[in-house]
Structure 1
Amino acid sequence: MELIKITHDNLEQEHICCAIANNKDIRVLSKKNWLRDRFDEGLVFLKCNVRGKCFIEYIPAEYAWTPIKAEGYMYIDCLWVSGQFKGLGYSNLLLNRCIEDCKAKGKKGLVILSSKKKTSFLSDPKYMRYKGFETADTADPYFELMYLPFDINADKPRFKGCVQEHRDLTKGFTLYYTSQCPFTAKYVPLLENIAKIRDAAFQAVHIQTKSEAQNAPTPFTTFSLFYDGQFITHEILSEKKFEKILISKGL
């Protein structure tokens, strides 16, 4: 299987796997703009030469948009192989190429965000353990920071203390999100509109810098929803799923 690395030179011509549409689509526009700003920081977006979700995206941990301490490691933003491409060895192919690249760059190892059990938008803990990853740290309610050290003496990565600091959140819903995932560009405005119609207090915090992300009150800065300071979900919600949450809160 041929692998394609997306760079400044081919970004406009290549599709980005997780949102296959023309470059005028808000999801594609948002994601490509985010990638364009990260390439010079060392971000790598590597995909199989297929038309679908079959790619890996990783960046030096010092530039990762998540509140972790993992100096010298590479952070995997996303490893996604879906649908008809599952069971063909593509996950192994992408991850192995990532490992080779990171070793060549002198990194201490790899870090990825997972969970206690398999869940949407986070890496599958069973698969990561099969590939040699171990849990380095945990954060409520179910997040796990997993790592694959290339040197047994390498420092263990950890979450920053800010991931548990929710006391200052306003009443009602608070949503933290970034443009790292193209689907936030579509769904966040829809959720805001639903909350407005239902007269529900809703604050969307668009994280737009690395510093903001690295000091956020949640490990998953791509999308994290809180209600009255309590974590609700990291899953990027459809309108129907958000409406169910509103109903559960009596709204």
Structure 2
Amino acid sequence: MKFKRVTLDNLASEHICCALTDKKGETCVASKKAWLSQRLGEGLVFDKLDVRGKVFIEYIPAEKAWCPITANHYMFINCFWVSGQYKGQGYANLLLERCLADAKAKGKQGLVVLSSEKKMPFLSDPKYLKYKGFQIADQAPPYYELLYLPFSPQASVPQFKACVKNGPIDEEGWVVYYTNQCPHTEKYVPLLIDHLKSKKLAGKAVKIETRDQAQKAPNPFTTYALFYNGQFITNEILTEKSFDKLFTKLNPR
């Protein structure tokens, strides 16, 4: 099978791998494609296997990343996903090799990626990345790890910005920060806010719409971060059912 690069010329017609399949999915995918169309002009690369499946890597110069980090002259892996029937066939290795070669050709110091102490939903697998040579550059509570793969011993070490290490935010009730980096957020964030209202729970959504806002966000995973009474709760994009399970866990009778 061949790999394909998503460009401004084929973005409108190309399957972007993490597309939703229900009727609301069309709007959600459009939101992701609109976000991508702006980032492609800033150096973002979206490489995928030429199939309708989740086999892709998405990366961008770290100075343009929607993540509160300092990683000058690095390439930031924004999303890296191989799933379903395509697992175990070497596609992850091939995608990472393409990213490595591109970053070196563009004169970068190395690769950097947001991960976690153990595998978490929507975050790159730390076990795989460390097996491929990535090291811990920095950490942020409660479980985030900034992993990097330098191309030389002289390469600088990336860091999280102070805004993600400051602890609780000054907000009451349920607050979700999100962007359109993932098509799922445009569907599930409004559903969550409506669900909170139906349960008479205080809640609001804060949409991050610029890179500057993302660089100042209170959580490293700007795609989706849910807080309750100032405390970070999860980066997992929740359905109404999964929220109810979480709520019961946090409020046992």
- By the TM > 0.5 criterion, same fold? yes
Alignment RMSD: 1.6
Deviates more, 1:65-74 or 1:240-249: 240-249
* Letter matched to residue 92 of structure 2: S
Note if 1:16 corresponds to 2:16: yes
Is this contact kept in 1: 2:173–2:202, CA < 8 A? yes
% identical equivalent positions: 58
Query: Tell me, which stretches of 5 or more residues in structure 2 are unaligned?
Result: none
Note if 1:234 corresponds to 2:235: yes
Residue 224 of structure 2 is matched in structure 1 by 223
Residue 154 of structure 1 is matched in structure 2 by 155
1:248 Cα deviation after fit? 3.8
TM-score by length of 2: 0.96
Note if 1:103 corresponds to 2:72: no
**TM-superposition CA deviations, 1:18-62 (whole Å, max 9, x none):** 005599811111110000010110000000011110000000000
1:13 Cα deviation after fit? 1.3
Please state whether the residue corresponding to 2:130 is helix, strand or coil: helix
Note if 1:171 corresponds to 2:139: no
Please state whether the residue corresponding to 2:41 is helix, strand or coil: helix
Is this contact kept in 1: 2:20–2:28, CA < 8 A? no
* Letter matched to residue 187 of structure 2: K
Query: Tell me, which stretches of 5 or more residues in structure 1 are unaligned?
Result: none
Please state whether the residue corresponding to 2:29 is helix, strand or coil: helix
In the alignment, the residues of structure 2 paired with residue 7 and residue 204 of structure 1 have an alpha-carbon distance, to the nearest angstrom, of 31
Residue 130 of structure 1 is matched in structure 2 by 131
In the alignment, the residues of structure 1 paired with residue 92 and residue 41 of structure 2 have an alpha-carbon distance, to the nearest angstrom, of 25
Please state whether the residue corresponding to 1:25 is helix, strand or coil: helix
Q: How does 1:85-100 map to 2 (within 5 A)?
A: 85-100=86-101
Residue 207 of structure 1 is matched in structure 2 by 208
In the alignment, the residues of structure 2 paired with residue 23 and residue 191 of structure 1 have an alpha-carbon distance, to the nearest angstrom, of 15
Residue 59 of structure 2 is matched in structure 1 by 58
Residue 121 of structure 2 is matched in structure 1 by 120
Is this contact kept in 2: 1:20–1:52, CA < 8 A? no
Is this contact kept in 2: 1:3–1:47, CA < 8 A? yes
Is this contact kept in 1: 2:169–2:218, CA < 8 A? no
Is this contact kept in 2: 1:6–1:14, CA < 8 A? yes
TM-score by length of 1: 0.96
1:3 Cα deviation after fit? 0.8
In the alignment, the residues of structure 1 paired with residue 170 and residue 119 of structure 2 have an alpha-carbon distance, to the nearest angstrom, of 28
For these two proteins, the number of residue pairs brought into alignment is 251
**TM-superposition CA deviations, 1:171-214 (whole Å, max 9, x none):** 11111100000000110011000000011111210000000000
